Chains A and B, each alone.
Chain A
Amino acid sequence: MRHVNELLRRELAAYFLSPMAYLVLLAFQVLAFLNFWVLVDTLSDPVRTHGEYSSLNDPMTTYISSSPSFWLGMLMAIPVLTMRLLAEERRSGTIETLLTLPVTETQVVLAKWLAGVVMYLVLLIPFALYLPFLYYQAHFPFDVGPLIALAAGLTTLGMMLVAIGVLCSASTRNQLVAAIWTFAVLFCLVGMIPLLAQFAARTRTGWAEALQYTSILHQVAAFGLGRLDLRHLALHLSACVLLLSLTVRIVSARGNR
């Protein structure tokens, strides 16, 4: 654990010693700001708030879970944050000095993944920053349920998505290739699965239900409404364990293939 801690510290330092982390953070800050603007605009429009399909009851839907810009940001940010993690070590050869130290492959992969998860959580901070303003300035009555569900659900979801990125980063020495693969996988998860579910809905209802269940868009929408389905969290965490153990296998194999 001491080793993981030391490796994690270096990894986080490496993020902030390059301009990339700041750029991604800035981009997310802008996204959060725009989303908040839209949210305030929606809430202050009496016509829309009194309409039949009101978003007043669940402002988190507008703000995060059904916001296209939030999802676009995620699709871009996760590949960018994870692409460097292992691909760069392999390209520069530092993986050789790292894996001839008395540290195990599991420790290395775990530290890299944790660094990615921490960065992911840091990215979400701007979204949280605006909420106190809404509460104290506008005296908006918040429902605590969706907030807790989103916090827990987005965390486990992020763990899984970052694990996808780490796996892609381990499988190549080219950062760009890693980023593109991560993006492709995330795009399938976010965009293709709901589409497939729609196709399947007409003929195979069983499949449609299964696909709906694995669709992360659907999952986060549920979190945003305050429904914290523990099966979703279990799905995220078990996928995470599977992906990370695959990554450890890839790192252990090195040139042995």
Chain B
Amino acid sequence: MIEVDRLSRRFGSFRAVDDVSFAVGTGEIVGLLGPNGAGKTTTMRMLTTYLTPTSGRAVLAGHDVLDEPLEVRRKLGYLPESVPLYPEMRVREFLRFRARLKDVPRSSLRRAISEVVTRCRLEEVENRIIGQLSRGYRQRVGLAGALLHDPPILILDEPTSGLDPIQILEVRSLIRELGARHTILLSTHILPEVEAVCNRVIIIARGRIAVDGRLEDLRRESSIVVEAKGPADAIAPALQTVAGVDRVAVEGQDGPFVALRVQARDGRDLREAVGQKLVSNGWPLRRLDLSRSTLEEQFIQAVNREALADARQEAS
């Protein structure tokens, strides 16, 4: 449904989005996770044709954002972060205005509006002036506006920011409901939100994709912490040869002991094989532990990794 290929966006010399590629399939709910200023909003603005990419391609529902922006706009509903609305309009009037601009046929206009009003639970306020509504209601009006023409793709930029806990739960359950009929890309910097709503997460940091995976795979991902006595530059390559090991990283040195982190492929538990390898090479073992990393740890790791890579790039 959404295909992004090496998308980049610069503002002057600042790379807001740097060589980002990912794809979202039909019916997926994908969370774009990242700290503030990571490039989430810029990515979304490029997907919605509001900004043009500096380089790269993005195709939504078969239409390129640069070649057929109007077709792309027809296929998506977009809720920007600050939920901009016209404060002087009434809710129903606003929805009618948006529906007409989205080419909802005249005959189904009334039905389309009533449907989103019910879905976003706006019945109580449909004749009120938008400027007088609370933040929560405004958010729902924005969401209703995005849903009006029943678009196959929904792009929601921080849909729960500024809401109180109850409203957050409501919006989340609404998004889960919508996931049955729409492909959804939402951005957030709140981790539990991704776990509550999405089935896939893309972690973006400093304009680059750091992690892209299904949530259950990420949850399963684990690493083995090893502390053994011996030369670090011999142990690490030896462990790398163990079947199923993805990568080995030296984490520290404590006297004669070396601390290593072994990342297994496909979340397999390799403690036995790793232990055997060390002992058979005659390196005494002090610690052998399985650590399941939470999404939060992975998020922090990913962000730090990108920061480190950036610092190295600048140094060289």
Chain A residue at minimal CB-CB distance from B73? A102
Pick the contact of A97: B51, B52, B70, B80 (CB < 8 A). B80
Shortest beta-carbon distance from B80 to chain A in Å: 5
Shortest beta-carbon distance from B145 to chain A in Å: 7
Query: Is the CB of A93 closer than 8 A to any CB of chain B?
Result: yes
**Also in contact, A94 and B98, with CB within 8 A (given A100-B50, A254-B50, A255-B51):** no
Shortest beta-carbon distance from A16 to chain B in Å: 10
Query: Is the CB of A18 closer than 8 A to any CB of chain B?
Result: yes
Shortest beta-carbon distance from A1 to chain B in Å: 13
Q: Which of B69-102 contact A (CB under 8 A)?
A: 70, 73-74, 76, 78, 80, 82, 84-86, 88-89, 97-98, 100-102
Q: Is the CB of B84 within 8 A of A100?
A: no
Query: Is the CB of A101 closer than 8 A to any CB of chain B?
Result: yes
**Also in contact, A18 and B82, with CB within 8 A (given A97-B145, A254-B51, A256-B52):** no
Q: Is the CB of A102 within 8 A of B80?
A: no
A6 to B104, CA, bound (A): 13
- Please give the number of chain B residues whose Cβ is less than 8 angstroms from any Cβ of chain A in the complex: 27
Chain B residue at minimal CB-CB distance from A17? B88
Q: How large is the interface on A (under 10, 10 to 19, 20 to 34, 35 or more residues)?
A: 20 to 34
Chain B residue numbers with a CB within 8 Å of A94 are 84-86
**Also in contact, A99 and B50, with CB within 8 A (given A6-B100, A7-B101, A10-B97):** yes
Q: Is the CB of B84 within 8 A of A256?
A: no
Q: Is the CB of B101 within 8 A of A3?
A: yes
Chain B residue at minimal CB-CB distance from A16? B88
Chain A residue numbers with a CB within 8 Å of B50 are 96, 99-100, 254
Q: Which residues of B are at the interface with A, using a C-beta cutoff of 8 A?
A: 11, 45, 48-52, 70, 73-74, 76, 78, 80, 82, 84-86, 88-89, 97-98, 100-103, 142, 145
Q: Which residues of A are at the interface with B, using a C-beta cutoff of 8 A?
A: 2-3, 6-7, 10, 13-14, 17-18, 92-97, 99-104, 254-256
